[in-house]
Chains A and B, each alone.
Chain A
Amino acid sequence: MDQAILKVDNLTKVFSRKGKPDFTAVDHISFTMHPGECVGLIGESGSGKTTVVNMITRLLDPTEGSIILGGEDITRFSGRELRKVYARMQMVFQTPTDSFDPRCTLGDGIGESLRNNGWSRKETKDEVTRLLEMCGLSADFASRYPHQVSGGQCQRAAIARALAIKPRLLICDEATSSLDVTIQKEIIALLNKLRWEKGSDLSILFICHDIALVQQFCNRVLVLYKGKIVEQGEPDEVIRNPQDPYTRHLIDSIL
């Protein structure tokens, strides 16, 4: 039962740029996530957090390394195989408003994964309503377009979309950074509620650059600096007794 939900091994991404030397955005990182665990990934802007999760979700091809999801090596998957994987892994994007097609309604976006998995139009509609309500939005948001809702509402819709297919692994790429503090609190409360309800059926990879938030929300934290994991451990431990100079700097600058 205690099989790792996600195992990342030596993951590396090198961007080759025209006229400039190659740039290593992610440098041989390895970590493991267990069922029900909530892992925080922190690091300053540009440290490679989004690149890491884009590789895990296979939106970006890794240069090196492997990604093992629930015991299955998905590093080389493509097409139909990959689409099946997305029923177990979902992501909330860094920019909520841009992550919905401006020409489709929020309801279309939220129900898309269900429709792709053979749900009927009627079933999908009911489920979208349920998801919206679970995320604190009323049912009429389903027929709105992304530019007709606020950033916070869009973020909730994005979470509803990610949860629609009931993934085992949820990746939140700075799901709260673009929001003000009160909305941020509500989103965290929502994620916390989900964690309690689902127990070991839901693991969350939580990307953030707010170390205080990670402390209250995550079981474990990974500190990313210039594409490398410089420190990992329990949040309290890391904050109280940082081993790496960068982590110390990060903590000092916040507290």
Chain B
Amino acid sequence: MSEPTIRIQKIKKDTVKTRLIIFGILALILLFCSVFCEHLTPYDPYLQDLKNAKAPPSPEHLFGTDRYGRDMLSRVIVGSKTSIFSTLLLVGIVTVLGTMVGVFCGWHGKWIDTVLMRISDMFLAFPGLVFAMAVAGVLGGGLQNAIIALVAISWPKYARIARSQTLAQKETPYLKAARLSGSGTWKIIFKHILPNIVGPIFVTSMLDIGTMMMELAGLSFLGLGAKPPTAEWGSMMSDARSLLSSVPWVTLAPGFAIFVSVMIFNLLGDTIRDYADPKSRGR
């Protein structure tokens, strides 16, 4: 009876590992593209060629050209820089900021914890994207403000996770032992608490990359993020949507890029979660 169970666990572990490798490589390819995008474009993404405008996909222009005759493939590749980097930057900021607030609240406790957690409840009570639109609207458009708006709505989730993890850590005997060793607050936080809580927080941020990318592109689509002529997928789609019926590829190309990237990052996040979960690893 036990042998089949072991076998299943082993197979499961192996598939998780394979998935991790596959999606890891795919994500790395995406990152590679966005880092070296200038060198990978077949044409100059900003070069207008009105003779060749609105050309449908063809062997020369795989994704066709837009209404100014710019090569869509090149524009999508260049757009990856803004889209992927701002997403990673956004996730990075949110993770660090949220974790800092959460660990501080969990460790310090008392009134400051109550105040900060009530504030985070307030943020959580709003529907996220609507609130982000309001914030971005007040701050005015621009990629920077879109990022600020999304940071404002996303940090509470991380603060919650970090706080509850910190509270759990605080009760562990090894943390008490560290206090008894005369370690100060900073040493305890950086040497004992953070290393023990980064796992779940990291998994959450990996799972959030896809969502954040969508939300950032969404804000740009609504004109609250990156502004044309900057090549950014959301604003590119928005730019061409009036011509959707006549030249659909101009909208579909960046849409496809968003779809693929979000998919890859989501699957990678899922896989990392499975991998980090000891139960699915069958130890």
Contact = CB atoms under 8 A, between A and B. Distances in A.
Interface of A: 54, 57, 59, 83-84, 86-87, 90-91, 93-95, 98-104, 109, 112-113, 116-117, 161, 165
A109 B180 contact: no
Interface in B141-160: none
Nearest to A110: B181
A87 B182 CA distance: 8
Contacts of B195: 103
A116 B180 contact: no
Nearest to B184: A83
A91 B180 contact: yes
A235 B4 CA distance: 57
B180 A102 contact: no
B173 A93 contact: yes
Contacts of B196: 101-103
B172 A59 contact: no
Contact of B182 (A54, A59, A94, A117): A117
B112 to A, nearest CB: 16
A145 B156 CA distance: 34
Interface string B168-197: 000011111111111110010001100110
Size range of the chain B interface in the assembly:
10 to 19
A99 B173 CA distance: 5
The 5 closest A-B pairs by CB, nearest first: A113-B181, A112-B181, A99-B173, A83-B182, A116-B182
A161 B177 contact: yes
B179 to A, nearest CB: 7
Given A98-B174, A100-B174, A102-B174, A59 B192 contact: no
B173 A116 contact: no
Q: Which of B173, B181, B195 has most chain A Cβ within 10 Å?
A: B181
Given A93-B173, A95-B173, A104-B191, A57 B180 contact: yes
A165 B181 CA distance: 9
A116 B174 contact: no
A101 B192 contact: yes
Nearest to A60: B176
Contacts of B176: 54, 59, 93, 99
B179 A59 contact: yes
Given A86-B182, A93-B177, 6 more contacts: A59-B176, A102-B196, A103-B195, A104-B192, A112-B181, A165-B182
Contacts of A98: 172-174
A157 to B, nearest CB: 11
8 contacts: A54-B176, A86-B179, A86-B180, A90-B180, A95-B173, A101-B177, A102-B174, A165-B182
Contacts of A59: 176, 179-180
B52 to A, nearest CB: 59
Contact of A116 (B172, B175, B177, B183): B183
B181 A86 contact: yes
Nearest to A94: B173
Contact of A99 (B177, B183, B191, B192): B177
A112 B183 contact: yes
Nearest to A103: B195
B234 to A, nearest CB: 40
Contact of A113 (B174, B175, B182, B191): B182
Q: Which of B175, B178, B179, B182 has most chain A Cβ within 10 Å?
A: B182
Contacts of B184: 83, 116
Contacts of A116: 181-184, 187
Contacts of A104: 191-192
